[in-house]
A and B are shown apart, each in its own frame.
Chain A
Amino acid sequence: MGEVIVITSGKGGVGKTTTSANLGAALAAQGRSVVLVDADIGLRNLDVVMGLENRIVYDLVDVVEGYARVRQALIRDKRFENLCLLPAAQTKDKTAVSPDQMRALCHELREEFDFVLVDSPAGIEQGFRNAIAGAEQALVVATPEVSSVRDADRIIGLLEAERMPPPRLIINRMRASMVRRGDMMDISDIIDILAIELIGVVPEDEAIVVSTNRGEPAALLPSSRAGAAYRDIARRLRGESVPIAASAAQEGSLFGRLRRLLGAR
C-alpha cells in the first residue's frame, strides 16, 4: 500500500508543479513506482513540465465521472516504466470533482503505486479541498518571501484543522548570496514562523527554467543543483536520513544578521 502525498502552498508560482514533477522523477529513478496526479483542474500544467502533453487521451475528470477507467487515463512516462501521470482536465473547472471522488481515486491509486503525489492548485478553495481530500501527508512549498510564508502558514492551519499530521516544508528558490547579504529571509526566519519540519531546501537554479520548458525534470540532470536537492528530498521521503547541505541551509552570516539588526539595507 503506497503513500498519498499532496504538494501544496497556498500562493501560486512558488513551484508546486515543478516540485511534483521533480520528486516524481527522482523517486522513479530511485526505483519506486510513482503516480503524479494533477489536481489543478482547468489549469493543466504538470503534463507540460513532464513533456507528456501530446499523449493525453483521458483525464482525471473522465475517470471520476466514469467515462474512463484509471488504467486508460494513466500516461506512462517516456523515461521511466514505473512513473505515471494522471492529467487534469483543461476544459472543466474545480467544481467538476468532489473531495469524496478524489478520496476514492487516491485509494485506488495507492493500491498499485508506492507513491501517489498530488499536485495541488494554488488557493484555499475547492481545488485545494479536493487535492488534500485523499492525502495522508502534505508537503508545503514556500519561497523565502514574506507573502509566500504567510500563505504557507494559512495552509498549515487549514491542514491542521483537517487532522492531518504536521506537514513538512520545502523551501524553494533559495538564493544563498542574497541571504548572506541579509537581503532575503533565511531558513531560520521561516522555520521560526511556520514551526514545521524542514524536508529540503532547493536553490534557485536556471536549469529549472530550461528543463521545465523542455519537459525534462531537472532531478534527472546530474549537473543541476536544484535537481540534486530534489533527489535528496526524494530520499528523505523514502525514509533515508540525508543531511540538508550546509550551503543550502546557510543561515545567513553574522554580518548579514548584524546589518539587518541595525536596519542597514
Chain B
Amino acid sequence: MLPDGVGADALAELGRRLGTPPALAGATVTLVPAGALRVNDLGALENLLIGRHSAVCVEVVRAAAVDAGAGRGTGALAAPEARARQGDGRAAPATGDSLLVRRTLRSGQRIRFAGNVVVLGDVNPGAEIVAGGDIVVMGTLRGVAHAGAAGDADAIVAAFRLQPTQIRVGGVIGRSPDGAYERPEIPEIARVREGVLVVERLQPGFGEIAAGDRQA
C-alpha cells in the first residue's frame, strides 16, 4: 500500500528497502495506491522499479478493488467511476488517471491499470494490456488489449496499426479473422456498437461522434 501521493522521501525509503539493484529482476510488481496516484508519481515509481530494479511489469490496482477481489483476473480492477459528461457533451475518461508506457511491450509483458493506458511503442504478440478505461497504442497493436475491463462497454481501443490477437471491450470479445486478411495501413479504433465489436478508421473528432451515438 502506498500513501496518498508519493513524496521524494517515500521514494528514497522504498529504494533503500529494496536494497541492491536489481532486486526485482523478472518480477511483476503490483502497486496499490491508497489514494490518487499522480502520473508523475507513477513515472518515478516505474523508473525505480523497472529502471533500477529490473521489474518486468508494474501493475496498478485500486485499493478498494483489492479489498473486494484480492487480485484475481480482471476482477481486481475497480469499477470505473461513472463516465462524467462534460459541458460539451463529450464523455470524460473512465477515471482521472492515465498510464503512459514509453516503450514497446514484448511477449510475456503485461500492464494492468485501472484508468486509461497509452503506449508509445508497439504491443507485440503475447503481450497484454488490461485497462479499466481506454487503450491507445501509438504504434502497432499485435497482442491482446482489454479496455473497460471492469465492465465499461463505452471504452475504446485505438492504434496506429490495429492488428490485435484479440480485443476485449467490457464483456465483448473480438478476434482477428483466421488465415490471411487485409491489414489496412491506417489508424483504427475498436468499440462496441449494439453489442458487437466494430473496427473503424480513426478519424479526427471521433470522440464527439461517439458521444452523440451514446446519447442517441
CB-based contact A161/B122 at 8 Å: no
Q: Is A193 engaged at the interface, CB distance under 8 Å to the other chain?
A: yes
Considering the complex, give the chain A residue whose CB is closest to the CB of B179. A263
B180 CB to closest chain A CB (Å) equals 4
CB-based contact A263/B122 at 8 Å: no
CB-based contact A154/B107 at 8 Å: yes
CB-based contact A261/B182 at 8 Å: yes
Of the residues B55, B126, B180, contact of A150 by C-beta under 8 Å: B126
| Interface range on chain A (Cβ under 8 Å from partner) | 20 to 34
Give the B interface residue count (CB, 8 A): 22
Q: Is B26 engaged at the interface, CB distance under 8 Å to the other chain?
A: yes
Q: Is A151 engaged at the interface, CB distance under 8 Å to the other chain?
A: yes
Proximity bits, B80-110, A CB within 8 Å = 1, else 0 = 0000000000000000000000001011110
Docked CA distance A262–B179 (Å): 11
CB-based contact A157/B180 at 8 Å: no
Of the residues B26, B124, B140, B180, contact of A161 by C-beta under 8 Å: B26
A256 CB to closest chain B CB (Å) equals 12
Q: Is A209 engaged at the interface, CB distance under 8 Å to the other chain?
A: no
Contacts of B209 in A (CB 8 A): none
Proximity bits, B12-27, A CB within 8 Å = 1, else 0 = 0000000000100110
Contacts of A153 in B (CB 8 A): 106-107, 124-126
Q: Is A71 engaged at the interface, CB distance under 8 Å to the other chain?
A: no
CB-based contact B22/A163 at 8 Å: yes
Proximity bits, A160-171, B CB within 8 Å = 1, else 0 = 111100000000
Q: Is A221 engaged at the interface, CB distance under 8 Å to the other chain?
A: no
Of the residues A151, A154, A161, A263, contact of B25 by C-beta under 8 Å: A161
Contacts of A158 in B (CB 8 A): 26, 56, 108
Docked CA distance A232–B71 (Å): 51
CB-based contact B50/A161 at 8 Å: yes
Docked CA distance A214–B35 (Å): 66
Q: Is A178 engaged at the interface, CB distance under 8 Å to the other chain?
A: no
**Contact A157 to B109, CB < 8 A, known contacts A150-B125, A162-B25, A163-B54:** yes
- Interface members, chain A 234-265 (any B CB < 8 Å): 260-265
Q: Is B142 engaged at the interface, CB distance under 8 Å to the other chain?
A: yes
CB-based contact B108/A263 at 8 Å: no
Considering the complex, give the chain B residue whose CB is closest to the CB of A195. B104
Of the residues A157, A260, A262, A264, contact of B108 by C-beta under 8 Å: A157
Docked CA distance A154–B107 (Å): 5
A125 CB to closest chain B CB (Å) equals 10
CB-based contact A154/B180 at 8 Å: no
Docked CA distance A162–B51 (Å): 9
Contacts of B179 in A (CB 8 A): 263, 265
Docked CA distance A162–B52 (Å): 10
B45 CB to closest chain A CB (Å) equals 16
Considering the complex, give the chain B residue whose CB is closest to the CB of A160. B106
Known: A154-B107, A163-B22, A193-B142. 9 other contacts (CB 8 A): A154-B126, A157-B108, A160-B106, A161-B25, A162-B25, A162-B54, A193-B122, A195-B104, A195-B122
A-B contact pairs, 23 of them (CB 8 A): A146-B125, A150-B125, A150-B126, A154-B106, A154-B108, A156-B106, A157-B106, A157-B109, A161-B50, A161-B54, A162-B22, A162-B54, A192-B140, A193-B125, A195-B122, A260-B180, A261-B180, A261-B182, A263-B179, A263-B180, A263-B182, A264-B180, A265-B179
Which A residues contact B (CB, under 8 angstroms)?
A: 146, 150-151, 153-154, 156-158, 160-163, 192-193, 195, 260-265
